Chains A and B, each alone.
Chain A
Amino acid sequence: MKSRVESLVRELGRPGRLLLFLLLRSPYEACATILLASFLAGALSGVESGSHKALFASLAWFSIAVPGLYLYNGTVWATHAPFWISRIAALRRRLFRRVLALRATDIDARPTGDWSARLTSDVSLIDSIPLHYLAVHVVGLVVSTGILVRIDGFLALIVILTALPAILAGQVLAKPVRALSGALRTAVSDQVAELVTLVEGGPTARLYDASEWLIHRFCFGNRAIRRVRMRLALLMGLQAVGSLLVGMGGTLVVLSIGALMVLDGRRTLGGLVALLHYRLGVVAGASMVVNCLLSIRIAMAGADRVMEVLDGGKST
């Protein structure tokens, strides 16, 4: 998948600008986790030790830092969105130009619906490739794991073990998700072809009382799409439920051990809450990274079909 994402990035152009955006955007989740964890730890320590000053200092810091972080993230978003939109528009233009330059035999080789789907819904899929979410969650995951290891190596190991199933599931699902996404793109383009028939043939169908026949004969695509979508949703759902269950088990273990440590006086309540928060950063981060990778696979099925047309241009 890596090389295909690479060639997509190349096709979109201005990779430096894209990298800059990804870099600027990536610290968001890590910062938010650290901010919340240290706020909870600080505020709860203040409460535990009966220090008003410590509590208010935490509150003040939190109320400044959170809007600051949002402002930063919003600014990065706002400056990036036009860039991304213009890249997609440029890709579309290149695609249209490419299609216009095709020979009639190349055009005839594919059904009209297939062309329509490539020029519309497949390009739109590229629009939704969550590259920047991936960057955000990878950094969040790495930072949370690092901090957790520094706080308590043993608990960190347990947490990492509970995050592993989500990652493994992602690996196992990658192949079927990719295959189903490809099948879904084909089903969508078949359906576009059928809809074209439905619209163009409308008057003829009406004259010859053939509407029912037309719907029966030409709306199979609908069923195929539904079937593939259901399977895809089932796979994604299984992955979500699986990671949720394992994650909950992990919470229980970490919470029990951590609570015993607090009772034994080896850890503060604030420290435990912060630890739980970093645990969430690792488990949720891992599952988000897996989700992003699966979503990228789904979107790449559309991107592949676009690139196929663009590549066709280079070989001739």
Chain B
Amino acid sequence: MNAIEFHGVSFSYRDETILRDTTLAIPQGARIGLVGPSGCGKSTLLKLVAGLYAPDSGTLAVLGETDTERLHRHVAMVLQPPLLFPASIRDNITCGHDMPEERILAACEAAQLSGWLRGLPDGLDTYVGERGNRLSGGQSQRICIARAIARQSPILLMDEATSALDVPTGAAVMGALRSLMKGKTVVSATHDLARLEGFDRILQFREGRLHEIPS
């Protein structure tokens, strides 16, 4: 079974077609980079996979599941822009679910948060402020990455997830993911091809269609 399968999927906003009769299969464990200029539809495609939007026509299966309402159960997604709730870092990572401490800490470690967290007097219980306005953009983004990792879904969708991080930190996050996400499927969208080093396949979005570019 493929992790993600598009079969003749079309999707458009009111007056803009984003996907045109797209057929695509992403096998389990693959690491897919999705590139294209901003506005080409990368975020839309990821939101379709996560079940936030439903295709206008065609079928979209995520691990065999085709019911839009249930797709999100198989995925963890880092949304763009990163959204934090006005709560503690811990609550932002667990989203109210019971989680063992080690799982939270491992997610923080992979998201390159550990060093910074150790310097905080309240650690994981630090309040992030409204929309995370007490943090830097990179800190907010890394918390959102930690949230996605802690969910331990078989599929991880990242929308410009390292855009606010400097290149070494971004690379460190991706490196940590590589070892942590063995056997899991990762789809990472970015407008910056340089951020996709080490990916199995790179798909480029052009005029509502996806083209594979040799990596």
Contact = CB atoms under 8 A, between A and B. Distances in A.
Interface in A173-223: 193, 197, 200-201, 203-210, 212-214, 216-218
A193 B130 contact: yes
Interface in A264-299: none
A200 B147 CA distance: 17
A207 B72 contact: yes
Interface string B58-100: 0000000000000011011101000101110001000111000
A205 B73 CA distance: 12
Contacts of A210: 95-97
Given A213-B95, A213-B96, A207 B50 contact: yes
A210 B131 CA distance: 17
A212 B86 CA distance: 16
Contacts of A15: none
A208 B130 contact: no
Interface residues of A, number: 21
A217 B97 CA distance: 12
A205 B151 CA distance: 13
B52 interface: yes
A313 interface: no
A217 B87 contact: yes
Contact of B96 (A112, A197, A207, A214): A214
B133 interface: yes
A197 B147 contact: no
A276 B89 CA distance: 69
A152 interface: no
A208 B147 contact: yes
B96 A204 contact: no
Given A210-B95, A217-B96, A197 B75 contact: no
Contacts of A201: 83, 85
B11 to A, nearest CB: 16
A114 to B, nearest CB: 10
B48 to A, nearest CB: 13
B131 A108 contact: no
B73, B75, B85, B131 pick with most chain A CB within 10 angstroms: B85
A207 B52 contact: yes
A213 B131 CA distance: 17
Contacts of B52: 203, 206-207
A111 interface: yes
30 contacts: A112-B130, A112-B131, A193-B86, A197-B85, A197-B86, A200-B83, A200-B131, A203-B83, A204-B85, A204-B95, A205-B95, A207-B50, A207-B52, A207-B72, A207-B75, A207-B76, A207-B79, A208-B76, A208-B151, A209-B95, A209-B97, A210-B96, A212-B96, A213-B96, A214-B85, A216-B96, A217-B87, A217-B91, A217-B96, A218-B86
Interface of A: 108, 111-112, 193, 197, 200-201, 203-210, 212-214, 216-218
Interface of B: 50, 52, 72-73, 75-77, 79, 83, 85-87, 91, 95-97, 130-131, 133, 147, 151
Given A207-B75, A210-B96, A217-B85, 7 more contacts: A111-B86, A193-B86, A197-B85, A200-B83, A207-B77, A214-B85, A216-B96
